[in-house]
Structure 1
Amino acid sequence: MMADDTPTFISLPHLTKYSEEAQNKPVFEDNIITEDMCIRGIDMQGIDWFKESMTRDEYRNQRIKEYETYLSCKSDDEDDTLEEQIQSQQTKPVAKNEEYYTFRSSKINEPCSIGHFQLRNLVWATNKNNVYYICGDTVRQWSPQRQKSAQVMDLSTANTPGSISCKITSMACAQQVLFAGGFQGECAWKALDLDSPIQYLSNANTASGITNYTDIIRDRKGVLLGIVSNNDATIKCINLTTAQIQKTLALPFAVNCSSISPDQNMLCLVGDSTETHLIDANNGEPIAKINEHFDFSFACCWHPDGRTFATGNQDRTTRVYDVRNTSSALHVLGSHVGAIRSLHYSNDGQYLAAAEPIDFVHIYETQTYNSSQVIDMFGDIAGVSFTPEDQSLFIANTDERVGGIFEFQKVEEDPIFYF
C-alpha cells in the first residue's frame, strides 16, 4: 500500500438535513433515525431531498460520474492501458434487487474516521449492542440499545510510562480483546474490561511498517494471538498474553490483508501485488499462487466452510475461489465505482459483504452468487461488520454531516409449512 497517507476522498456538497418542525421540535432527536422514521419517508442519513437542487437519483449519477478510483499499478496518468484491461473484465451478471438486511437505525454525526484511505476494516461488532470503530486516534464503542457511545482506547498521546501514541490504521475486536495497529508498526491492545491496562508493542522492521490489517484468534492450544499484516512485507503472530512476537512470516510484498482458514492450516494473503498467495499457516510454505487480478488487493476472507475464499482488489472486483482448484475464480463480481476494500462472510456463510470506498456495500448470497443486495448511501465507508449471530450488519460512514453508524437487521425468511 502507499506509504503516503493523503486520502483521495470525494467530498460531499452541503446536503440539507431535515429542519425543525412547526412545533419547534426536531424531526429526529439526538441524530437517531429509526426504521419507522425511514418508512415514513425520512432518509436514513437525514438528508432532506426536497430542499436539494438535485433529486437523489441525479446526485447519485453525478457521484458515479465524478468518482475516480485509485490504481496503484497505473504507471502514467496518460496511459489508459490498465483502465482498459479493468473495464474489459468479464464479471458475473448479478441481480441487485434482493433485500437480505433491512435498515434498522442510524446514529448520524457519530464521528468515524479512516487512518489511511486504502485501509477500510475499521468497525467490529462483537454483538448487537457493542460496535467498535475508529475516531481519530481513539477507539470508541457504540451501543445501539443505550444509543450512546464511549471512548475505550486512546492512542493520541503517550501519557504513561511505556505507552505509545500512534496514528491508527487498523483495528480488530474479538475474543474479548480490542487490538489496534498504527502507521509506524505500533500495536496496542487491551481486554474489553474497562479497568484493564493497554499493552503496547512496536514491531515494524522499516520506516514504512504500517499495520495494514489485524485479526485476533485463539490457536489450537488456546493461546490468544494477534495476527498482524504489515507494510514491511511480513505477517507477525503476537502472543497477546506475553506481548512477544511468536512468529514472523516474510513475504515478497507488503501485506495488506491476511485471513486464516477456519481449521487454522492455511493463510490467504494479499498485498502490493496482483497475486493472491495461499501459504501454510504453520511454516509459511507456499501452497498456491493466483494471479488473476489487475491491481493491488486490500481484502480477503474465508468462507466458514474452509473451502471457499474471496479477494477484493483495486481493479473493482471481488473474486471467489475454491481452494481445491485455484486455477481460476469461481465468480468474478464487479463493483459500482471503486475498489473492494473490505470483505466479510457472515458467520453462517450465507452472505458475503463487499464494501467499496464510497457509497456502496454489496451483500451476495453465497449459494450461487447470482443475487445480491446493494446498500446505497453517501460517504466514505470505513468498514462493515456482521454480528456473531448474523442478525445485524453495521456500516461505519465517515462523512462529517450525514455519516455515522448504520445498523441493518437480517430479514427473516417466512417459515415453510408442509402438510
Structure 2
Amino acid sequence: MSHYHEDDTDYMADEYEMEDIDDDMDDECHDREEEGSDSDADEFNSSSRIVDTTAAQARRGIDIQGIPWERLSITREKYRKTRLEQYKNYENIPNSGEGSEKDCKVTDKACSYYEFCRNSRSVKSTILHFQLRNLVWATSKHDAYLLSNFSVIHWSSLSYTKSDVLNVAGHVAPTEKHPGSLLEGFTQTQVSTLAVKDKLLVAGGFQGELICKHLDRPGVSFCFRTTYDDNAITNAVEIYTSASGAVHFTASNNDSGVRDFDMEKFQLSKHFCFPWPVNHAALNPDGKLLVIVGDNPEGLLVDSQTGKTVASLCGHLDFSFASAWHSDGITFATGNQDKTCRIWDVRNLSKSVAALKGNLGAIRSIRYSSDGRYMAMAEPADFVHVFDVKSGYEKEQEIDFFGEVSGVSFSPDTESLFIGVWDRTYGSLLEYHRRRNYSYLDSLY
C-alpha cells in the first residue's frame, strides 16, 4: 500500500468532502441542530445534543443523515450526480478502473435486505489512512466497536451511549506479563486497523504496533511490534478460532509479512514473507488456506501451515485491499482499486466466477454474513453494496449516503449491519436491521 503521510486524512477531505461542493451545508447543519426538529426526544443524543435520525423519521421523508436538502441550493439528486462525476478514484496503476468494466456483472439493484434503523451522529469514526477501511466491528445486534480519534469506543444502539475501551493517545503498556510482550508499551499509537471478536480486541498501528485487549479484563493484555522497518504499517488484522479452539489472529504488514499469533499462549506462531506488501489476509473456515492480497494485481492462495503458494489469482488490474471467505469454505472475495470485487471458487481458480462493480472507487472492505446469505462490499465513499449470494450475486441492495466509509460490519447473528461514515459535518454510524417477512406469523394475531 502507499506509504503513510501525515496529510492522508486531509487528502480525503480535500478531494471528497461534501462541503467542497456546497459550502452552506455546515451552516445549515448548525442551524438545524440549534433549532431542533419537529418532535421527540429520540432525535437527540441527550449528552451531546447532536441530531440523530431514526427509522420513523426516515419513513416521514427526513434524510437518513439529517442533511436538510430543502434548505440547500442543490438537490440530493443533483449532488449525487456531481459526486459520481467528480470523485477521483485512487489508483496505483493508471486507468485500472476503466479497464475492469468489461468483466463486470450486471445486477438488479432494486432489492432491500437490510432496512435503515438509525443514524447516530454522536459516534464519529476516524480514518487515518485513505486505503485502510476496517475500523468498524459489530459484536452483537446492538453493539459496535470503532476507532474515534485516538480511542477505540464501544457503541450501544440500545442505550445510545458510547464508552472508551482503549485510549491510545498517551502511553499504553500491558498489565499482564507474557514472553515476547513489550512491557514498555507504546506512546501515541496511530491506529491503522482494528479487529474485534468475542472478547478480544486487536489494534494495529502505523509503526508495526499490535495492541491486544481482552474486553472482559482490565488493562491491556499484550503489546508487540511486528517490525522496526521504516515501512512497518499494520494493514489488516483478522481474529479467528483455530481447530483446537484456541484464539488466534493474523496481522498483514507493509513489510511483506503475514504473522499469526496464538492468544492462548501469547506468542507468534507463524511468520510468512511474500514478494510485495500485504494489505489483507483471510483464513478459510477450516483453517487450511489463506488468501493474500496486496501491492500486486495478482493475489495468492497459500497453505496456511507452510505459506507455500497453492494458486495465483489473476484478473484484477490494480492493488487489492480486501478479502473475505464465504462460510462454505469454497468461495471467497477480493476487493481492488480497479473498482471491482471478484468472486473466486477454489475448485477452479483459473479465473474469477464473477466481477462486481462499484460506482465511485476501490473496494476497500468486504464482509460476508455469518449465515453466508449476504456479502457486503464497501467503496471508499458513499456506497455499500449488499449482495444476495444465493442469486449468484445478481441481486443487490445499494445503500446510498454521503461521506467516506471507515468500515462495514455484520453482527454475528446477521441481524444488524453497521457502516462507519467519516465526514467533518456528517460523520456518523449508520445502523441497518435485517428485513424479515413475518406476514404469515402476523396473520395469527
Q: Could you tell me the TM-score, scaled by structure 2's length?
A: 0.88
Q: Distance in 1 between matches of 2:97 and 2:421?
A: 27
Q: 1:381 aligns with which of 394, 405, 411?
A: 405
Kept in 2: contact 1:112–1:133 (CA 8 A): yes
CA RMSD of aligned residues (A): 1.9
Sequence identity percentage: 35
Task: Write the deviation string for residues 276-309 of structure 1: whole angstroms up to 9, x where unpaired.
Answer: 1000001111111012100000001000000000
Counterpart of 1:363 in 2: which secondary structure?
strand
| Corresponding residue SS for 1:274 | strand
Assess, with a 3 A threshold, how the Cα gap between structure 1 residues 118 and 22 changes in structure 2: closer, same or farther: closer
Which stretch of the first structure deviates more once superposed, 110-119 or 238-247? 238-247
Partner of 1:216: 239
Pick the structure with more helix per residue: 2
Alignment match, 2:54: 34
Return the alpha-carbon distance in structure 2 between the equivalents of residues 413 and 24 of structure 1: 30
**1:390 to partner: Cα distance:** 0.3
Is 1:121–1:382's contact at 8 Å kept on the other side of the alignment?
yes
- Report what 2:139 is aligned to: 126
CA 1:49–1:204 in 2, change beyond 3 Å: closer, same or farther? same
Counterpart of 2:56 in 1: which secondary structure? helix
Note if contact 1:270-1:276 (Cα within 8 Å) is conserved in structure 2: yes
Cα distance between partner residues in 1 of 2:166 and 2:223? 12
Q: How does 1:16-55 map to 2 (within 5 A)?
A: 16-17=28-29, 18=32, 20=35, 28-30=43-45, 31-55=51-75
Q: Secondary structure at the match of 1:310?
A: strand
- Quote how far apart the aligned CAs of 1:33 are: 1.6
- The structural deviation recorded for 1:265 is 0.5
Taking the aligned partners of 1:167 and 1:48, their CA distance within structure 2 comes to: 34
Q: Kindly state the Cα deviation for residue 242 of structure 1 after the two structures are TM-superposed.
A: 3.7
Asked whether the 8 Å contact 1:46–1:108 carries over to 2, the reply is no
CA distance in 1, matches of 2:37, 2:340: 48
Matched, 1:280 2:303: yes
> Which secondary structure state, in structure 2, belongs to the residue aligned with residue 63 of structure 1?
helix
Q: Distance in 1 between matches of 2:36 and 2:260?
A: 55
| 8 Å CA contact retained: 1:205, 1:232 | no
Decide whether the 8 Å contact of 1:109 with 1:400 is kept in 2. no
Gaps of 5+ in 2: 46-50, 174-182
CA contact (8 A) 1:311 1:320 kept: yes
Who is 1:77 aligned against? none
Whether 2:330 is the aligned partner of 1:330: answer no
Structure 1 segments unaligned to the other structure (5+ residues): 75-79
Amino acid at match of 1:85: G
Of 294-303 and 102-111, more deviation after overlay is shown by: 102-111
Residue 139 of structure 1 deviates from its aligned partner by 0.4
Contact 2:97-2:339 at 8 Å conserved across structures:
no
* Residue from 75, 85, 103 that aligns with 2:99: 85
- 2:335 is equivalent to residue 315 of structure 1: no
Aligned to 1:157: 170
| 8 Å CA contact retained: 1:21, 1:27 | no
Q: What CA deviation, in whole Å up to 9, does each residue of 1:39-59 have, x standing for no partner?
A: 112111111110010110001
Q: Which amino acid aligns with 1:52?
A: L
Task: Specify the alignment match of 2:178 in structure 1.
Answer: none
1:382 partner letter: S
| 1-structure distance, mates of 2:299, 2:365 | 16
Find 1:63's aligned residue among 83, 89, 92. Answer: 83
2:416 is aligned with 1:392? yes
Structure 1 stretch displaced more, 194-203 or 127-136: 194-203
* Pairing 1:413–2:428 present: no
Does the residue aligned with 2:99 lie in a helix, a strand or coil? helix
The one-letter amino acid paired with 2:138 is A
Structure 1 match to 2:367: 344
Any idea what the Cα deviations from partners look like across 1:89-115, whole Å, max 9, x if unmatched?
321000111100000011114221012
Quick check: 1:11 aligned with 2:33?
no
Letter in 2 for 1:3: H
- Does the CA-based 8 Å contact 2:91-2:318 persist in structure 1? yes
Secondary structure of 1:267's aligned partner: strand
The answer to whether the 8 Å contact 2:100/2:316 transfers is no
Give the whole-Å Cα distance in 1 for the aligned partners of 2:39 and 2:240. Answer: 51
Q: Which amino acid aligns with 2:400?
A: D
Deviates more, 1:205-214 or 1:116-125: 205-214
After TM superposition, the score normalised by the length of structure 1 is: 0.93
Shift in Å at residue 402 of structure 1? 1.3
Partner of 2:318: 295
Q: Does 1:111 align with 2:107?
A: no
Structure 2 SS opposite 1:374: strand
